[in-house]
Chain A
């Protein structure tokens, strides 16, 4: 134990004198977390939280246009712009301003669209009344070909954004059409009892709103489940990314110690090598865990200073400590493998850095794994960063308990042990002094 403690003290003495290494381990991930959370704040927000200027060219001036406008105004997403400099917006203005990138969305409601819907509704009502033996005859004319409400987007808009906006508009249009149809039906019944007009319309409104969609929590604890926000994703993701950068000082020290002969000195001391290795593993794992906790503190207390929400650490936040230790062990052991594989710092450091970037990309650090193609999702399983993020997300997003994080923790510990074993085997095979 004294030998392990001596190694831990020695590593600490080396680290505290390596200011640039300390900055790399602590300040860089902190800066990365804050910058990435700020940059990704908007893309992570739900569309409901965002507000867009929407150009509206109303050539119809009828009920449909009015109902669409009212619906859009009630939604928090849109601010309707139907005139510019006192002049009504036209289709030409819509296409020009969107083409210039000044607006994101434009709607052009063609002339006569309300009349067409009313005509269609009258046809339906007359058909019903004929079949039920009533003699209502609402005025009709021949149906036109399909009429389109034109929707324009800024060319740089993402497909997901377009789909969301189209769906919202479809909803308003469907609602307006049903409303008009119901009003025509109400008129049919009012012919026999005009006094009941208000009551019928109210009943129809209730019928229309009778079946709705409402999101429910999975369980009581899920009431606290967090939505994937910029802070909830970026703080753990980039903290894990930063933790794996521990491989830079580890591999660097290992190679330097081989080059300057201090590794030879250790190997000449009877049975010291295994204690030294254990001391290093414990020290760097502790540093990783400390680094992770510091990053969580930034998420908890520094993020609100930048106008972002504070990190929610989950209902079982104590689990983050064993998770951080498991991640630290996997990262440290990977550092040992890189330090063993390469003979020079010039080989090890670029490989180490690039491999972390690749493992983080396939592991879901940059974008959630769920939106990656199937093959990439399978590849993600091979990345220890994926299991690291999975374990943390179980706690901070899904309020998972010990049993739910154990699989990821086990995989991280097994990965660490595998990296460790591989470095011992390679070392023995090469006859390196470690």
Chain B
């Protein structure tokens, strides 16, 4: 089963913020796609992801995953999604295996399932030799990969990644992107945010550009490049629509 994401006219204002984080933002991600949510710093990407995960409530508008409301059906939504946050959301003093065993148990998975699935993911993301090392002893790239594994233990239909390759070396980045493509081939939907346009161009079926909480444009990377004047890369398209001024 593959699921779609639908966000309609979402508004969100944080207390003491001088402008809305999301200002009537809408977008749709088709099932079994890799969608890139791209925007400069403070554009509203993380707020959008947090609303989809039911972590924060929008002031107005609706957000749904697989037809279920993200606020009203939190439990159902959370069992469908795997979220890879920007932070390394793991217990640093535990080994990778201890982390995965604990997280798997909290998802209600049986021991054998945790074991077999973890072994597959560790092998696929090149961490099998380091499974019994503490997360704190991992390099930045290893931590990122372990962070992804922890989000996939329950085999979610939708994987949401918030800048999953930030601060990792070229090899780790290549491995992660390769894995995401493979994961998509299993019929899963992926929503992904990044500042790295070449990366988005490489793996996304469709990108949505967001700025100052508003929808700017969406389409396949190829279409966006083709249809925007003087643009040869996705980065050119991005700068064309979001401008060159530095964001706070």
Question: Which residues of A line the B interface, CB within 8 A?
Answer: 2-3, 5-7, 9-10, 13-14, 17-18, 257, 260-262, 264-272, 275-276, 431, 433
Contacts and interface: CB of A to CB of B under 8 A. Distances in A.
A265 B55 contact: no
A322 to B, nearest CB: 30
A257 B87 CA distance: 11
B76 to A, nearest CB: 8
Given A269-B103, A270-B75, A10 B87 contact: no
* Best-surrounded residue of A9, A13, A17, A275 (most CB of chain B within 10 A): A13
A288 B53 CA distance: 36
A265 B98 contact: no
B89 A14 contact: no
B79 interface: yes
Contacts of A260: 87-90, 92
B231 interface: no
15 contacts: A3-B108, A6-B106, A7-B106, A9-B102, A260-B88, A261-B89, A262-B91, A265-B103, A265-B150, A269-B106, A269-B107, A270-B74, A270-B76, A272-B106, A276-B106
A263 to B, nearest CB: 8
A261 B88 CA distance: 6
A399 B70 CA distance: 58
B89 A270 contact: no
Chain B, interface residues (CB within 8 Å), range: 20 to 34
Interface in B91-144: 91-94, 98, 101-103, 105-108
Contacts, number: 73
B175 interface: no
Given A261-B88, A265-B85, A431-B56, A270 B79 contact: yes
Contact of A264 (B85, B94, B105, B106): B85
B78 interface: yes
A369 B150 CA distance: 52
Contact of B102 (A10, A261, A271): A10
A19 to B, nearest CB: 11
A262 B89 contact: yes
Interface in B59-77: 74-76
B37 interface: no
Contacts of B90: 260-262, 265
Contacts of B108: 2-3
Contacts of A275: 106
A17 B106 contact: no
Contacts of A271: 75
A355 B105 CA distance: 36
B93 A264 contact: no
B224 interface: no
A271 B102 CA distance: 15
B106 A3 contact: yes
* Best-surrounded residue of B56, B87, B102 (most CB of chain A within 10 A): B102
A7 B90 CA distance: 14
A162 to B, nearest CB: 57
Contacts of B79: 270
Nearest to A18: B93
Nearest to B150: A265
